[in-house]
Every structure is written in C-alpha cells, then in structure tokens.
Structure 1
Amino acid sequence: MAAIALVVLLPLAALIEIAAEGDAEIWPHLIANVLPASTFDTLALLAGIGLVAGSMGITAAWLVTAHRFPGRSILVWLLPLPLAVPTYITAYIYVEVFDSAGLVQMALRGIMGWKSRGDYWFPEIRSLPGCILVMSAVLYPYIYIAARAMFLTQSASMLEVARTLGASRIKLFRIIALPLARPALAVGVSLALLEALNDIGASEYLGVRTLTVSVYNTWLNRGSLPGAAQIACVMLAFVIGLILIERYGRRDRRYAASPKRHRTVHPVPLFGIRGWIATVLCTVPVLLGFIIPTAFLLRETLRGGLFNQLDAEFLAHFMTTIGLSVVATSTVLILAVVLVSAARLSKNSLTKGSLFIAGLGYALPGTVLALGLMVPLVGIDNLIGTLWRSLTGERIGLLLMGAAGGIVIAYVIRFLSIATGSLSAGLDRVSPSLEDAARTLGASRREMVWAIQIPLMRPALASAALLIFVDCIKELPATLLLRPLNTETLSTLVYTYASRGRFEDGSLAALVIVLVGLLPVIQLVRTAEARPRVAESAGSSASALPAVDKP
C-alpha cells in the first residue's frame, strides 16, 4: 500500500527537485515573459469551459430528465457520446471545417461571391473563444452525466410540493433541482476542467498558449528542463485550486430520501414550440461534439481512400497502442484490487491515506506527470545498467525509457484513481455482514478477497477496465513526451499528421480512436439509465451516479 502511494508521489518530488535545481535567472525570465500570458490564457480557458460546458451539460441533463419532447429517447443515448472523441481530434477537425481555408468559408465565398477574408467577417476558430467552444463541446458530458444522475434520483414529492405552491418550471429548477445537484455538479465541472488543463493538442493547435503548452515548449523546443519544471509547479497550484473548489462545492452537502416513499421525477411533456426548442438545445451539443467530428473523419477516410493505410506499419502502430493500453489497464486493475481490498479489510489510517494518495494521480496533467517521471526513470535505468554491467560486463539498453515502460508507468499513475473509485463504490454497496460471516467461518483475508470481494467487484472491474483502456488510447501529453524514438501510438500519429499540416491524412487513425471509445461510453449510458429504473421498482433511493468516481 505505502509503496504504491510512494510511486504516485515520486513524480511530484522529482518535479520539485528539478525546479529547485534550476538556474535562479530562469524565474525572472518566466515571470516577465512566459507566466503572465500563459496564466491568463489558462484561467480564461478554464473559466470559459466551466461556463459553456456547464451550461450545455446542465441544460441538457434537466431537459431530458424532467421533460418529454421530440427526439428525447434518442438524445438520452447521444448526449454522452462526445466522451469518445479526444479534444485534440476535435480541434484538428474544426480547423479543417471552419478555418479560412476550410469547408464552411470556402462554401460561403463560392455562394456569396466573396474574393478574400477582407470582404466578410467570420469568427476565428484559432483563438481563445474558439478553443473554449471546441473543448466545451467534448467535455460537457462530464457535467451532463453527473447532473443527470442527480436529477434522476431527486424525489418527485419535493418538486410536486413546490409546484402546488405556485413555482414555475424555471423557478423549480433554479431553487430546488439545481441546489440539490450541486455536489455532483462540482465533481463534473472539476473533471472537465482537469481534462482541459491536461490537454496539449487542442490548445496548441488553436493558438492558445496555456501553461501546459508552455511546459512542452520550454522543455522540448527551448531545451530547458528546469524552466519547464518551474512552470509545471505553477500548474500544480491550478490543480490544487480545482480540487479545493470541488471540495468546497460539495462541503456539508448531504441528501437522503425515504426508501419507502421515494419516487423519481416523472417527465412532463413539452408541446409545440417549447418541445422543439428543447430538441434543438439538446441536439446542438451532440452535433458539435460528436456528429460533426465523426462525420468529417468518415468523409475524409472514404474520400482519401485511407483504408489503404491499413498496412503493416499502421497495424504496428495500432498494436503498440493496444499493447500499451492492455498492459497499463491490467496493472491498474491489479493494484486497485490490492489497494481497495486492503483498505476494506484493514480500515486503518495508513491504508486510507495510501488509497487517497493513489487517487491523486488523475489530478496530475499528463505533461506534469511526464516531466516528473523523466529523471527518476532515467536514474532507475542507469542503476540497472550499472548493476548489469558489473555482473556480466555487458551493456544493457534503457529498459523503462527505451522500451515504453515509462508510458505504462505514467498511464498507471494517472488512471489508477478510476479503478480505485469504481471498486470502492462497488464494495460500498455490499453489506459488511457477508465479510463478517466469512470471518466467523474461519476464512483468512486472502480467502475473503478471492472468494467474496473479487466476485462482487466483477461488474465494477469490467466498467473500470473499459474506461481505463479507452483513456489510455486517447492519452496524448504523457505519451508524446515519454515515447521512445521511432515509437508511435494512434494518438501521437494523429498529432504528427496535424503538426505537419496534414491532419486529413491521419483521419483513419483518429476514426479508430473514436470508434474504440464508443463501447465504454455506451456501456456507461446503459448502466446509468438502468440503475434508476431498478432503484424505483425496488422502492430504493440508491444513487444513479456512475460507479467511476475520479477525484
């Protein structure tokens, strides 16, 4: 337990050490020339995403939960699907579609007879507002899923009382439903902002110089590892701030309903223009975040005959992606079972503290994590090489950094919290009397884990495995910075094409990423939609929140 927690803390300790060893003259340069603009862009980006993605997610969640309107049954399944589309792929697509040389403006110039950009005005996609819109279209499902889960489990009796007292539908939403959902909304918004802070591909491509982009440029383009570490330390302050905001949003908030008389919200029909307005409001996020990106990728793949790329080289990149994701997912699940089982059985401060620390990895942006892992991994490789040379007299190459071991370690640290949160939530629903009965029958701790806990955790293990696997496939910053030479994954392949101005040639790789990501998202929707119905039919007020609980 303690060893796993120390591995999670290792990148942070190394990062602080690298930053402290840097030249003292770097700080004045960073403060004068880098940090002001990067900090402003980061704050503006996070604020904009919180507002736009929050509005999209909350509005859609309330409409599909509390009302019936045309297309609602389909939109319930479509609204979470943008989770399968990485932010960087969406950014590349929107530039191809809406830039001055893109499909939309070319069509407008052809229809209207305009000769150049000087003849008309069109919003600039390569800008801070453009980046906010693009990333919000992909990240709003984090807020939508959390909000819908809470709206589904709110007692209908409270809403009916408010209606009898004369509250309008808008007031009902504003003074009752929204405040009750605040804890879940705090979690959803925090997750969306952490994902935005982790992004490097979208913000860099759209010309927004966030702290993440500054870390990348300072490290690789300017060759200053200490300077990058110092910027990364500033990023950690943002991460801590987001965690504190999330904790503040959930402070002292408890809600419980009677299990005997709990009734979920019954959707109210919306007729005429109101129903079609609701349809449009719920369709726009799906259109922006999933339909346009997927349709573009499919169009470019078919038009360019990119299925011809399915050669040995592409398959090698695909198998590298799958192999890294499988190894990382398997490792995460094993460590999560160890952590959660030990915390369940021991219930002491050490195990609880280790479980909490292990869950902090998701809060570390991939760029910061990669930077913090670089020096420790190289040091371990050098130590192994020295020992091997002293024993055999032969040289051995880099085992971790030279064979993609660093990528797997980064994946494990970053996504361990998904598995621990999912397994903890699954075991919390199990009565302790089962374990007590096993103890009275003389079962050892190992027997309890194998015979009771692991079988009960199988549904949570399956859900966590799907989510972690897809997150590993989509992860770009850590993969980009830690990959060995001549090693490509699907995400870095798409990034390479886009950086060369040939993103359309990477449409097949991007389409594969999206299609692989659809399976766990659909499974998540199925689980979330089924749980409230089961709870209602059983007369239970059990929460419909997804089992995955990222910190």
Structure 2
Amino acid sequence: MAVAWSRAPRRGLIATLLDPLRRVGPWRLFALGMGTLLFVPIAVTLASWLTPDMEVWRHIQQTLLAEILGNTVMLVLGVGSGVLFLGVSLAWLTARCDFPGRGLFDWALILPLAVPTYVLAFVFVGLFEFAGPVQSFLRETVSSDLRLPSIRSTPGLILVMSLVLYPYVYMLSRAAFLSQGTAPMEAARVQGLSAWGSFFRVALPMARPAIAAGTALALMETLADFGAVSVFNFETFTTAIYRAWFGYYSLAAAGQLAALLLLIILLGLTAEKAARGRARFDQRQAGGVTRIPLRGWRAWAATGFAASVLFLGFLLPVLQLVIWGWGHLADFNERYLELVLNTLTLGAVSAFITVTIALLLAYARRVQPDFITRRAVGASTLGYALPGSVLAVGIMIVFTWLDHRVADLLEPLVGDIGGQLLTGSVFALIIAYVMRFMAVAFGAVDSALEQIRPSLREAARSLGARDWEIIRRIYIPVLRPGLITAALLVGVDVMKEMPATLLLRPFGWDTLAVRIFEFTVEGQWERAALPAVTLVAVGLIPVIFLVSRTVRKHPRNQKPAAAEALQT
C-alpha cells in the first residue's frame, strides 16, 4: 500500500508535465522544432543590427556598400535576362519545333547543371584571359595586336552564370510547353495570329508561372554564389561577408551584411509570389503535341544555337578540365584522397540526416495536417532560398554565444576551455547543410509519399502499430527509391557547396570545393582541374537521373505537324 501511495504522485506529476505536450502532439511539436531551428539563425542575423561594429561598418559603407549594391542589381538583371532568353528559347525549340538533333538536345541541354558555377568561371578565365590559350593562338595566327574584350568583366560573369543556371528555366518551361498541347496554338492560328504571335500571345503567357518559378530558382542561386564572383573579382554581398569575417575579423559586420542580403532575398521572394498571384501551371497533356518542322537555314540555325549553348556550358569546360587534369596527375596523392574522403563523408552524413528529418516532416504533415503543422513544415524548408553565407553567419553567431555560456558554466569546474566547442566544428557545418538543403530532400520524399494510400496507415493503426513502427515497416520499404533519390540530390549539393564550407569548416578540414577555391585564388587554374573534374563527375549523377525522367516522360507518338515553318 505504501509503495502504491508513493508511486502515484510521481505518475501524476509526470502526467501533469507531459499533458501540454500531449495536447500539442508529438508530430506538431517536431515540426515546430524544425521550423524554429531555421528561424533562430535568421533572427540572430537580423538582430546583428542591434549591436553593430560601427568602425568596420563605417569603412564598409564608405568603400564597399554602394559597389556591392550596384553589382548585385546588375548581376540579378543580367543573369535573369540571360536565363530567360536561353531557357525559354531552347525549351520552345525542343518542345514545339522539329530540327536536326532535336532528340539529342532535348535531354543534353540539362547537362550544364552538373558544372558548378565556380568551375565554369575559372575554366573561362583560364581559357579566354589575355595570356590564355585562345588569345595567344589568335595573336599567333591572326594578328599580334589582336586583343579580345576582357573576360573578367560584368558581361563575362553574366554569361558564365547564365550558361550554368539556364537549365532551371529550361526544364520547367519545356514541361509547361509540352503540357499545353496543340489546341491553343491551332486556335490562335485560326484567329489569324502568326507563329511568332501565337508564341508571344498564347504559349508564353500560359507558361508564365513555370518560367517565373525557374527564374526565381536561378536568381536565388545567383545571389547565393560565392565562387564564380570570387574568380571574376566581382564584389557582391557574399564576397563582402567573407571579407568582413576573415579580412576584418568582425562577425558583427558580416552579420549586418548577411542581414541586408537576407532582406533583399525576402523582398524578391515576396515580389515573385505577388507577381504570380494564384497562377498555377498544369502539366497534364492536353492531347498530343505536334511540332513545327523547321526547314532550310532556320533548321540549321536552331541546331547551331542549341549546339553552341551545350558546347559552351558543358562540353568545353569538361574537355578543358580533362586536358588540364591529365597534366597534373601527380596531384592524385594521399592529400587528394583525404579531400575526397572528407567531401564524401560530409555528403553522406548530411544526406542521411537531412533525408531522415524530411521523412519525419512529411509524415508529420499527413498525421496532423492542421494550419500550424503545415506552416511549421513550410518554414523548415525555406533554407534553400537562403545563401550558404547567410546561414553560416547566423549559425556562427548562435554557436559563439552558446560556446561562451558553456565556457562560463564550466570554468569553475575545469578551468578555461577556450570557448570553441561548437564553433568551427563539423557539427556546425552539417547543421548548415541540413538547413540549406532540407527543401531538396523534402520535395523528393513528399512526392514519393503521395503515392502511398492513407488506408495503409489506417489499417496498420487498427492492428495496434505505433507511428514509429509504421514508418519503419511500411513507409521506409515503400519509399526506398524516393529516399535514395533525395539522399543522392542532397549529397551532391553538399559536396558542391562552397560558401558555407569555407566559413564554417574546422581548421584543416578541407573539401574538393575548398581546394578549388584555394587554387583559383592563386590563379592556378590547371591544378584546380583535378578536383573540379571529380565534382563535375559527381554532379552528373543527379543530372543523369533528371535526364532519365525526362526521357521516360517524353511523348513517344508525336510526329511533326504539317504546319508552316516558324516565320519571322
């Protein structure tokens, strides 16, 4: 009796403490926790304005701020125009026109996605600078006084970034054009519109939501880029953040610059969402797709245009990297293998953690699909819109504060521990990767989860199975292909990530991306080729996956329409 009496209050106390959590729900609580995890670095980054480093900030304001603001505007406008022109035009040609090589270009034009922007940047600089092989050859064969415009210029950087990022617009625009079918275009032609008029007044407005989504992705990558702008010595917010952190040794100033960049991105996302309004793009096939047969010079002009983009964006850099790398095989040593191991380790660990959390978030949204859970899950996947440098600054500010508090608590017990428990650790780096690429994993997992009928979970619950058992015994086996795909996409993105790795990596923990940065800063383009080839080869894996999906979904029974050629 005494034993029962003594245990009852303890059970009552525990039940009382856990009762609020039961009312909230474990899955809703998990989603709220993950949403908060992303919000904290954003909040502390914005809060850096409360304690500004006035001396450093005054120097930045007088010497850099106007330049980086102007450069950012020029880069966004230039790259936006470039990816729109390349992506939309190539998508229209491959989806709705017929010309020599169309079947090859249909999927091959996705390949530039495998080349990181900073890799294409140093290849172009190494090839086309004044002392490079292209200008040297032209001076020897054409004229000794010949001098091409400098590749290290704003137009040169815009060209490089447009060649790498246009596939975002190309893939979504192509899908939108294919989904429109033939009926809208035929109706426009009946109304007296020319082929060009039908494109601009019918096909293009219908595809606008898809084009806007692809352009937004490309511009997010543009604002987040650090490697390419460093190669071109082009000052942007990401390079200024790096300089404030490692040049002026001011985390506060880096935080203020990161906050400005964050505000620009949030304003851009809000404007893009407002511009699209409630528009949606439907990818259901509206009948068959008949293509306009291009003949004569128009056909070969289309082939030449597509071939030029593919050559500059993929074939040329890969060929040049192989040539340079072959001449520096001596760099393939133990140090290089250590870089590969570090890169693969970070990619594998980050991919496993990210996909696991993404699976739990997707499950939480189905178990408790209320407003709070859905908003918390949405907040957890916003990291992809944030540059790695912004996340790195926010995480470093949080971890620095935590390290100081822990050091203060432990100092009376163990003495001074140096205050470096979390900052500059692999753990901080992995946290940044998880937050940055959660959206990539969640998209792949959530789309796979849509194929599982809710009745399976209900049947398992009726048999007494708990949520964890349902996930382990039903969801994971069924979702295995989707989980592998998500892990693959996240792992490759992690291995190519440069700014977060540069800012947060532990001392001596270098990766292939870091080694490329070190060589390009010193102008050693040829020595940067071997790690660059490795990253391009790894980056081809998810691109091949995208290509295989493109080929599988490609309409098989489509023949060119007996329509007029595209007129000027």
What is the CA deviation profile of residues 416-442 of structure 1, one whole-angstrom value per residue up to 9, with x for unaligned ones? 111112222333455545545555666
Tell me, in whole angstroms, the C-alpha distance in 1 between the residues paired with 2:456 and 2:121.
Answer: 50
The answer on whether the counterparts of 1:328 and 1:408 sit within 8 Å (CA) in structure 2 is yes
Check if 1:94 corresponds to 2:124. Answer: yes
The residue aligned with 1:541 is none
115, 123, 129: which one aligns with 1:85: 115
The residue aligned with 2:449 is 427
The residue aligned with 1:113 is 143
Query: What secondary structure does 1:401 align onto?
Result: coil
The residue aligned with 2:26 is none
The residue aligned with 1:339 is 361
Check if 1:181 corresponds to 2:207. Answer: yes
How much is the aligned-residue C-alpha RMSD, in angstroms? 2.5
The answer on whether the counterparts of 1:80 and 1:141 sit within 8 Å (CA) in structure 2 is yes
Tell me, in whole angstroms, the C-alpha distance in 2 between the residues paired with 1:430 and 1:55.
Answer: 39
Check if 1:283 corresponds to 2:299. Answer: no
What is the CA deviation profile of residues 33-80 of structure 1, one whole-angstrom value per residue up to 9, with x for unaligned ones? 322111010010011000011110111111111122111121122111
Q: Which runs of 5+ in 1 are unaligned?
A: 537-551
The residue aligned with 2:349 is 327
Which moves more between the two structures, 489-498 or 7-16?
7-16
Tell me, in whole angstroms, the C-alpha distance in 1 between the residues paired with 2:287 and 2:484.
Answer: 30
171, 194, 212: which one aligns with 2:220: 194
Check if 1:377 corresponds to 2:395. Answer: no
Superposed displacement of residue 148, structure 1: 1.1
- Partner amino acid, structure 2, of 1:19: W
Tell me, in whole angstroms, the C-alpha distance in 1 between the residues paired with 2:124 and 2:380.
Answer: 36
254, 268, 271: which one aligns with 1:228: 254
Query: What secondary structure does 1:503 align onto?
Result: coil
The answer on whether the counterparts of 2:324 and 2:526 sit within 8 Å (CA) in structure 1 is yes
Superposed displacement of residue 208, structure 1: 1.5
- Partner amino acid, structure 2, of 1:213: T
Tell me, in whole angstroms, the C-alpha distance in 2 between the residues paired with 1:381 and 1:156.
Answer: 62
Tell me, in whole angstroms, the C-alpha distance in 2 between the residues paired with 1:432 and 1:157.
Answer: 37
Tell me, in whole angstroms, the C-alpha distance in 2 between the residues paired with 1:428 and 1:534.
Answer: 26
Query: What secondary structure does 1:505 align onto?
Result: coil
Superposed displacement of residue 159, structure 1: 2.3
Tell me, in whole angstroms, the C-alpha distance in 1 between the residues paired with 2:413 and 2:55.
Answer: 43
Superposed displacement of residue 160, structure 1: 2.6
* Distance change (3 Å), C-alpha of 1:220 and 1:310: same
What is the CA deviation profile of residues 343-377 of structure 1, one whole-angstrom value per residue up to 9, with x for unaligned ones? 11101122112111111111111111111111222
169, 184, 188: which one aligns with 1:158: 184
The residue aligned with 2:43 is 13
Tell me, in whole angstroms, the C-alpha distance in 1 between the residues paired with 2:196 and 2:143.
Answer: 45
The residue aligned with 1:52 is 82
The answer on whether the counterparts of 1:152 and 1:532 sit within 8 Å (CA) in structure 2 is no
* Distance change (3 Å), C-alpha of 1:73 and 1:86: same
The answer on whether the counterparts of 2:172 and 2:214 sit within 8 Å (CA) in structure 1 is yes
The residue aligned with 1:297 is 321
Which moves more between the two structures, 212-221 or 133-142?
212-221
The residue aligned with 1:132 is 158
The answer on whether the counterparts of 2:229 and 2:235 sit within 8 Å (CA) in structure 1 is yes
265, 269, 291: which one aligns with 2:289: 265
- Partner amino acid, structure 2, of 1:194: M
Tell me, in whole angstroms, the C-alpha distance in 1 between the residues paired with 2:406 and 2:481.
Answer: 39
Q: Which has the larger radius of gyration?
A: 2
Tell me, in whole angstroms, the C-alpha distance in 1 between the residues paired with 2:206 and 2:553.
Answer: 19
Which moves more between the two structures, 444-453 or 372-381?
444-453
Which moves more between the two structures, 451-460 or 165-174?
451-460
Tell me, in whole angstroms, the C-alpha distance in 1 between the residues paired with 2:252 and 2:152.
Answer: 30
What percent identity do the matched residue pairs reach?
A: 37
Superposed displacement of residue 319, structure 1: 0.1
User: When the two structures are aligned, how many residues end up with a matched partner?
Assistant: 528
Query: What secondary structure does 1:209 align onto?
Result: coil
The residue aligned with 2:427 is 405
Tell me, in whole angstroms, the C-alpha distance in 2 between the residues paired with 1:535 and 1:181.
Answer: 23
The answer on whether the counterparts of 1:329 and 1:468 sit within 8 Å (CA) in structure 2 is yes
Check if 1:467 corresponds to 2:489. Answer: yes
Superposed displacement of residue 162, structure 1: 2.3
Counterpart mapping for 1:389-400 below 5 A? 398-400=420-422
Tell me, in whole angstroms, the C-alpha distance in 2 between the residues paired with 1:121 and 1:301.
Answer: 28
Counterpart mapping for 1:344-359 below 5 A? 344-359=366-381
Superposed displacement of residue 527, structure 1: 1.2
The answer on whether the counterparts of 1:153 and 1:532 sit within 8 Å (CA) in structure 2 is no
Counterpart mapping for 1:389-538 below 5 A? 398-436=420-458, 438=460, 443-531=465-553, 533=555
Superposed displacement of residue 210, structure 1: 1.1
* Distance change (3 Å), C-alpha of 1:176 and 1:326: same
Tell me, in whole angstroms, the C-alpha distance in 1 between the residues paired with 2:457 and 2:191.
Answer: 48
Tell me, in whole angstroms, the C-alpha distance in 2 between the residues paired with 1:323 and 1:59.
Answer: 40
* Distance change (3 Å), C-alpha of 1:112 and 1:344: same
Which moves more between the two structures, 264-273 or 360-369?
264-273
Which moves more between the two structures, 361-370 or 509-518?
361-370
The answer on whether the counterparts of 1:399 and 1:405 sit within 8 Å (CA) in structure 2 is no
Superposed displacement of residue 21, structure 1: 0.9
Query: What secondary structure does 1:504 align onto?
Result: coil
The answer on whether the counterparts of 1:128 and 1:207 sit within 8 Å (CA) in structure 2 is no
Query: What secondary structure does 2:178 align onto?
Result: helix
The residue aligned with 2:562 is none
* Distance change (3 Å), C-alpha of 1:255 and 1:403: closer
Tell me, in whole angstroms, the C-alpha distance in 2 between the residues paired with 1:159 and 1:435.
Answer: 45
Tell me, in whole angstroms, the C-alpha distance in 2 between the residues paired with 1:294 and 1:91.
Answer: 12
Tell me, in whole angstroms, the C-alpha distance in 2 between the residues paired with 1:270 and 1:517.
Answer: 34
The answer on whether the counterparts of 2:56 and 2:250 sit within 8 Å (CA) in structure 1 is no
Tell me, in whole angstroms, the C-alpha distance in 2 between the residues paired with 1:522 and 1:437.
Answer: 38
* Distance change (3 Å), C-alpha of 1:431 and 1:186: farther
Tell me, in whole angstroms, the C-alpha distance in 1 between the residues paired with 2:52 and 2:198.
Answer: 56
The residue aligned with 2:17 is none
What is the CA deviation profile of residues 457-479 of structure 1, one whole-angstrom value per residue up to 9, with x for unaligned ones? 33332222221111111100000
Tell me, in whole angstroms, the C-alpha distance in 2 between the residues paired with 1:68 and 1:430.
Answer: 39
What is the CA deviation profile of residues 350-407 of structure 1, one whole-angstrom value per residue up to 9, with x for unaligned ones? 2112111111111111111111111222344455566677777895984543442221
- Partner amino acid, structure 1, of 2:287: R
262, 271, 294: which one aligns with 1:245: 271
Tell me, in whole angstroms, the C-alpha distance in 2 between the residues paired with 1:376 and 1:199.
Answer: 23
Counterpart mapping for 1:24-39 below 5 A? 24=54, 27-39=57-69
The answer on whether the counterparts of 2:107 and 2:550 sit within 8 Å (CA) in structure 1 is no
* Distance change (3 Å), C-alpha of 1:390 and 1:152: farther
